[in-house]
Amino acid sequence: METTEVMEERLPPADWRPRKASPGADALWLFISIAAVLVLARIWVAPHASAPALQAWATIFIAICVQALPFLVFGVALSAAITSFVPARVWTRVLPRHPAAAVPVAGVCGAVLPGCECASVPVAGGLMAKGVAPSAALTFLLAAPAINPIVMVSTAVAFPRDPGLVAGRFAASLTVAVLAGWLWLRFGRTDLIRIPQGPPPGAGRWDSFRQAMRHDLMHAGGFLVVGGVAAATINVVVPASWVDSVAGIPLVSVLILAVLAVLMSICSEADAFVAASLTQFSPTAKLAFLVVGPMVDLKLIALQSGIFGRRFAVRFIPLTFALAVVVSLAYGKAFL
Amino acid sequence: MTRAAQNLLLLLLGGAVLWITLGTGEFTNYVKPGLELPLVGSALLLIVLGLAGMRRDWNDDADEHPHGRSVTEAQAQAPAQQERSGAPGVPPAVRAGVEDGPVPAVTGTAPEALTVPGGREQGTHGSGKAEEGEGEEDGGHGHAHGGPRVAWLLCLPVLGIFAIAPPELGAFTADRNSSVTRAVAAPPSIDQALPAGTGPLAMSVAEFVGRSFEAQIGGDPTLEGRTVKLIGFVAPRKQGHWYLTRLQMSCCAADAIAVQVIVLGAAEPKKGAWVEVTGVWKAPPAKESGSGVHYLNATGVTPAAKPAHPYE
């Protein structure tokens, strides 16, 4: 398998340096030494790490990671399965011909298909390459990570007493995705977006599944840790009175959590748990956090500029952010 | 980050989760007990994934493919680099073929290794056109240059679990609980009468607070005159007396809020100690009514063992 893959790909320049050690044996030794370090740390460090603030921080940080892990792992497995086993042309067939009609259908498709936001950007690129209208593909890009079943389940688990917030996440995210698609259909010019080229041939399916899953886990997991660190720090370090006073100002608190969602870049399958930990903030502010996060964050900005071009990103990202905040505010005003 | 490191990280993560679930049971310090099964399942999946990846790498070595290893690295890095320079992406069905492994360049060897055609020279302003751009690679997410360097952060929870092994949240968190969170913690309404009997009635702190709140906002004073028994830990109170406290989590420890009862008529035990308090509910003065303050006239305070599930 590996050999054929290698043959299919472009070869490196002749002066490429071979590596000396074998990765398998390296990994084994590394694993043994890390395990030893951890056991020793358990014996010598754990009893001394007793400052209450440090312990509380670590408890909250680990709690967020542990709580989000099953959702992340199973979500990533599903999305890897879909990207590895379902060809892109299936979606071309599902969508109506007329772009204005295709936009809402693409949004609803997002509710059915699990996929991390990191995966949805290239998937949307693939859809465009297959001839799907850009506006519909963009709606899918926004909707898929925001309202897919895994995300909705994890949100319901994180907010067991707030069904309104769970429904709000679905409704507001879908609204934003469809509005953004229609606005792009109406005002977006074709020269603003770079449509990706058709795909080259792929590898074996199981192999591609395994690699897609590992890849997504590494990315999403890394950003989940960033979010966990930020949330634990807000919880432990920032004086409660500050958070209280900020959280008490209606509009400001919404904007702050919206910006925080962009900065934290948490995977949508895990962000509900971080949102739930921000207990001082109003439901509307948490809703804004949940609606903005899957649609605009640091890694998505990078991904979208990379795949669709910078000229696209500087227009589409502010548009999405503004829509997400306004729709969350409106929903919060009406229902929360 | 090399493939070997990624596989290793998967094994470590899976191992750490198995350790706190099947190994020590510490996971109840962090999340609800019901999450055990999903946690074990996902840990096993992580371990299988890591082992499968390792086996592949091992086999590749055994192939005696003199440059095999470096070839794969090169091609995986090349597209990633193009992607960073703004090349078009590819749908994920395809990316994985390109990808095996070092999703771009994190190890020490990275910078000088990037001499592949289509690399940095193509310029960052994006006319680069490569058929095999590694689409979803977030090569350029703003701050982390060229790749999932961010994935190394996954070591942090593992390190935390083993090196700090933090216990359940306690008095520190209760101290930080603000007036706002206490208002948010308005308990669910409870309308049944207490079971008949005369002995001290064991009750969760949350139920006590719920019944007390009902009585204060005009409901039935179901606690009136009844001796109850509450288990919780001790948290100091600035305005005198002390709090019997229990933390309540709706999902995980990160959203824990303190449920607190002011204990009257008993000397304050050591901060953070678990105690069982027997006593009778006392209505707060009229001006504090409904403001989230609850009093218990203690008749006895005895040390208690920490409950198996420290959160309510």
The answer to whether B57 contacts A69, with C-beta atoms less than 8 Å apart, is no
The answer to whether A17 contacts B255, with C-beta atoms less than 8 Å apart, is no
Q: Which residue of A has its CA nearest to B146?
A: A302
pLDDT, average across residues B152-177: 86
Same domain, B219 and B267: yes
User: Does residue B105 belong to the interface with chain A, where contact is any CB pair within 8 Å?
Assistant: no
Residue B184: is its pLDDT beyond 70?
Answer: no
pLDDT, average across residues B242-261: 84
| pLDDT recorded at residue B73 | 41
pLDDT, average across residues A246-273: 85
Same domain, B68 and B193: no
Interfacial A residues in 258-297 facing B (CB < 8 Å): 265, 273-274, 276-277, 279-280
Interfacial B residues in 200-229 facing A (CB < 8 Å): none
Same domain, B1 and B39: yes
Q: Read off the tokens for B54.
A: 């390792």
- Whether A111 and A117 have beta carbons less than 8 Å apart is answered as no
Lowest mean pLDDT among A213-217, B173-177, B183-187: B183-187
| pLDDT recorded at residue B51 | 92
In a domain, B23, yes or no: yes
pLDDT digits (tens, 9 = 90+) for A163-204: 999 999 999 999 999 999 999 999 888 788 887 664 444 557
The answer to whether A122 contacts B92, with C-beta atoms less than 8 Å apart, is yes
Interfacial A residues in 151-180 facing B (CB < 8 Å): 157-161
> How far apart are the CA of B53 and the nearest CA of chain A, in angstroms?
8
Per-residue DSSP letter, A233: H
* Domain extents in chain A: 52-335
Same domain, B246 and B149: no
> How far apart are the CA of A100 and the nearest CA of chain B, in angstroms?
24
pLDDT, average across residues A274-283: 83
ipTM of the complex: 0.72
Residue B134: is its pLDDT beyond 70?
Answer: no
Angle CA(A223)–CA(B108)–CA(B1) in degrees, nearest 5?
35
Alpha helices in A130-204, H assignment, sequence order: 134-147, 149-158, 163-187
State the residue for tokens 């409704």. A171
| pLDDT recorded at residue A310 | 84
- Whether A266 and A274 have beta carbons less than 8 Å apart is answered as yes
Same domain, B152 and B216: no
Residues of B in contact with A50 (CB under 8 A): none
Most confident range (mean pLDDT) of B36-40, B169-173, B186-190, B200-204 is B36-40
Q: Number of folded domains in chain B?
A: 2
Which candidate, B72, B62, B57, places its Cα nearest to that of A26? B57
* CATH number for B256: 2.40.50
Interfacial B residues in 265-304 facing A (CB < 8 Å): none
Residue B298: is its pLDDT beyond 90?
Answer: yes
Same domain, B235 and B154: no
Interfacial B residues in 246-265 facing A (CB < 8 Å): 250-255, 257
Q: Read off the tokens for B312.
A: 């309510």
Residue B116: is its pLDDT beyond 70?
Answer: no
The answer to whether A9 contacts B75, with C-beta atoms less than 8 Å apart, is yes
Instruction: State which residues form the domain around B205.
Output: 171-303
Residues of B in contact with A26 (CB under 8 A): 4
Same domain, B54 and B199: no
What are the percentages of helix, strand and coil residues in chain A, rounded to 5? 75, 0, 25
Residue A227: is its pLDDT beyond 90?
Answer: no
Same domain, B178 and B259: yes
> How far apart are the CA of B139 and the nearest CA of chain A, in angstroms?
8
| pLDDT recorded at residue B110 | 36
Same domain, B46 and B162: yes
Please tell me the distance from the alpha carbon of residue B31 to that of residue B37, in angstroms, as a whole number.
12
In a domain, B280, yes or no: yes
Same domain, B161 and B226: no
State the residue for tokens 């994180």. A158
In a domain, B3, yes or no: yes
In a domain, B132, yes or no: no
Same domain, B229 and B295: yes
Instruction: Give the burial string for B206-237 (b: 16+ CB within 10 Å, else e).
Output: bbbbbbbbbbbeeeeebbeebbbbbbbbbbeb
pLDDT digits (tens, 9 = 90+) for A116-145: 676 677 778 777 877 788 999 899 999 988
> How far apart are the CA of B144 and the nearest CA of chain A, in angstroms?
10
In a domain, B97, yes or no: no
> How far apart are the CA of A96 and the nearest CA of chain B, in angstroms?
21
Same domain, B193 and B232: yes
In a domain, B25, yes or no: yes
- Whether B107 and B1 have beta carbons less than 8 Å apart is answered as yes
Q: What is the mean pLDDT of chain B?
A: 72
Q: Which residue of A has its CA nearest to B147?
A: A219
